[in-house]
Chains A and B, each alone.
Chain A
Amino acid sequence: MSERSNPLEKTFKVFLGVSIIGHIAVLILLNIDSLWVSENDLIIQNAIKVDVVGLPEKKKPKPALPRKKPKPKPQPKKTAKKPKPKPKPKADKKAQESAFERLDRLAKEEALKKKQQEALKKLEQQTQKEEPEETPAEPEQPVAGNIITMGTALKGLDKIQMERYFGQVQQHIQSQFQIPSFLNNAQLSGQADIKIDGRGFVIFRGISKTSGNDIFDNAILTAIDNSSPLPEPPPRLQSRLENAGFRLGFPE
């Protein structure tokens, strides 16, 4: 029996050994990065705080900056003419040739200078045409969209609570905002100021910016009236909403 099982046992041992080696190799390959490659240093920096606002409107393209006038190329310095050495009789011909060559070279340089100056002039003329006229600075437009707040110094949970509350107010009033269908294409907009008490009841409302259309303005006031009472404001906001109130934009 032991003689018969020997070849089987040998085979099993070989197989086992190969299997173990294979598994170890796979493990090494999978972990080779963490074993031998050093980790990147952790970069710790302060968290950035931002106000949560809606998508802004498309910004108007800024006027193109005036092109800088290209600096003219510095003209070659005029070197002092060295006194011409008296040509030796034997070298007369050579001196004459060099003089002619020199004249030729100077003429060519002159022509090149002229070309460069003409090109510079053209460039200057072009930049003068392309320079945009100075437009008067446009008044800063408020960031539009579903703005909850223009920005406060509230932080953390207070800020979250306020933003959540004003989101509820916006949905509540919008559900009551209806205009006649004949004003659908009129693209009107208006604003109203509103104050509410601690229970959310409207204690004051008035048009702060008219749409120019009495019926649309009436629809704004009707929406506010029908919305009352609004959701009860958080305790921290009650005093402010009762005294200073807030402004509503219809539709923005």
Chain B
Amino acid sequence: MKHLIFSVVAAIVLGALPALSQGNGQVYISVGQATSKKSLLALPSFNYFGSQAQKSSAIRIGSEMYEAVKNDLDVSSLFVMMKPNAFLEDVSLVGLKPKPNDPNGFNFKNWSAIGSEFLIRAGYKVIGGDVELEGYVYYVPQAKLVVGRNYKGPKSQARSIAHRFASDVVEALTGKGAMFNSKVVLTANRDGKYKEIYSMDWDGFNIQRLSNFRNLSISPTWSTDGKRVAYTSWAYHPKAKTRNADLFIQDARPGAKPELVSYKKGINSGAEFHPNGTDLYLTISREGNADIYKKNLSSGTVTPITNGPAGAMNVEPAISPDGTKMAFSSDRSGRPMLYVMNLATKSVRKVTKAGHYNSTPSWSPDGKKLAFAGFDRKKNNFDIFIMDWNGFNLERLTSSKKTNGKWANNKSPTFSPDGRHIMFVSDRTGNYQLFLVNADGTNERQLTKDRFNYEKPKWSKIFE
């Protein structure tokens, strides 16, 4: 009690002391972290600078490039697109550069008045068989040029030029280029009852059939240099008069001749190139036991990578970008879970413990994350998940319903080469279509909208 009374008295006495000088040090306040927001982007249509004679045929190309740039920048999730009816200035009457540098240029005030933060001005012309694109990005609040580029190429590459410009815009702002000039290889039944291998631009354009086995071709993957694809096809063996799931490699263009790489009796599937470009990892199943093997494409030697345990299946190898680790799916513990093997020491660690069935691992380009499809028993569906490669920080990225109210299946994730997005297939619309989602689970969107079924997409590197 005495102690308590003394403390109270001491506090009162000390508090009543007169305030002394405020000191000479400057007051400093740490404001704290900012919230982030998308930037308002004004993207008026591209100006045509070519001859009037070619205008009618060139307009289609210009429109195609404009739509490609617009879609790319929208997918980047960095911008909110302003509606054209908000623009105060008719861009067809003014130049690509601002006044007073260009007497006939545009006026920044017309764009700051409507609140735009960024303005893209671009123009094109078609000369013979070539198209030329000139593009500028301005930061309106400071009336400042961010990036200005000029591109030229064949008319057939118009979309690629547009993708290149969009990627340069993103790189100028973030310091890192975007995946807009990349492709995807996948299985689809676009030609009727057969499943063939197709390639296409990441946005669903330029779809080309690569295989022609008129049967079942599945599990394609890109070579490290993006020039070839490997896939499995149920080829017919005339001598044996039977079909077998064989592994083929061919150039990534229609009509290329496929080369038979692995034809062990059983299944030769799930191929994945090592970053060194020489080794190919694949699953070979013999007498019901599926294990992962490494085939050296130069020497032809086949080396077992996994070996049981007896009765276990080890499938779907995915090599880390630095080539030191291999993620794969295995039911050695009773249910298919994801494992990561150190390729040098062959030590294996289990990285998923939750869920009932985890499969199709895909590495992020920086090697830090794994995306995979996991079966949720409660919802009776597959969803896309992402986690650190060692199993920590598990997050679900998808959750959608079909039109009948049941939970949709979302499968076969593949990371974009810039690490910002994940592509996957989903049956939420009835058939398996391609979807895209940001790596943080935001901005989910449908890429294909047709009556076909797509499977096992694999994203390529960025083509320069």
* Chain A residues proximal to chain B, CB less than 8 Å: 42, 44, 46-47, 49, 54, 142, 144-158, 166, 169-170, 173-174, 177-186, 214-215, 218-219, 223, 236, 240-241, 244, 246-252
Contacts and interface: CB of A to CB of B under 8 A. Distances in A.
Contact of B22 (A177, A240, A250): A240
Interface in B24-62: 25-39
B144 interface: yes
B22 A152 contact: yes
Contacts of B21: 153
A44 to B, nearest CB: 6
Contacts of A246: 26-29
A146 B31 CA distance: 8
Contacts of A147: 28-30
12 contacts: A147-B30, A149-B27, A150-B28, A153-B21, A156-B19, A170-B32, A182-B78, A214-B142, A215-B142, A246-B27, A248-B30, A249-B29
A219 B34 contact: yes
A158 B16 CA distance: 11
Given A180-B173, A248-B28, 10 more contacts: A47-B7, A54-B30, A147-B30, A153-B20, A169-B29, A170-B31, A180-B78, A218-B141, A246-B27, A249-B28
Nearest to B175: A186
A144 B32 CA distance: 11
B25 A174 contact: no
A146 to B, nearest CB: 5
A72 B23 CA distance: 54
Contacts of B28: 142, 147, 149-150, 246-249
Contacts of B170: 182
B29 A148 contact: yes
B17 interface: yes
A155 B39 contact: no
B36 A184 contact: yes
Contacts of A219: 34
Interface residues on B, range: 35 or more
A179 B36 contact: yes
A181 B19 contact: no
B128 interface: no
A179 B37 CA distance: 6
A248 B78 contact: no
Contact of B31 (A157, A173, A184): A173
Nearest to A221: B141
A145 B14 CA distance: 28
Contacts of B17: 155-156
Please provide the 6 A-B residue pairs with the shortest distance between their CB atoms, ordered closest to farther: A152-B23, A246-B27, A177-B34, A158-B19, A182-B173, A150-B25
A178 B36 contact: yes
Contacts of B19: 154-156, 158, 236
A176 to B, nearest CB: 9
Contacts of A145: 30
A144 to B, nearest CB: 7
A42 B2 contact: yes
B101 interface: no
A173 B319 CA distance: 47
Nearest to A42: B3
A251 B31 CA distance: 5
Nearest to A192: B31
A249 B28 CA distance: 7
Contacts of B144: 214
B257 to A, nearest CB: 45
B77 interface: yes
A180 B22 contact: no
B22 A179 contact: no
B10 interface: yes
B20 A249 contact: no
B251 interface: no
B160 to A, nearest CB: 23
B317 to A, nearest CB: 31
Contacts of B15: 155-157
Contacts of A154: 19-20, 22-23
B77 A250 contact: no
Contacts of B201: none
A252 B30 contact: yes
A182 B39 contact: yes
B86 interface: no
Contacts of A49: 14
B11 interface: yes
A150 B117 CA distance: 37
Contacts of A169: 29
A214 B33 contact: no
Given A47-B11, A156-B16, A250-B34, A170 B29 contact: yes
Contact of B30 (A184, A218, A251): A251
A104 to B, nearest CB: 57
Contacts of A157: 15
Contacts of A186: 174-175
A153 B17 CA distance: 12
A155 B11 CA distance: 12
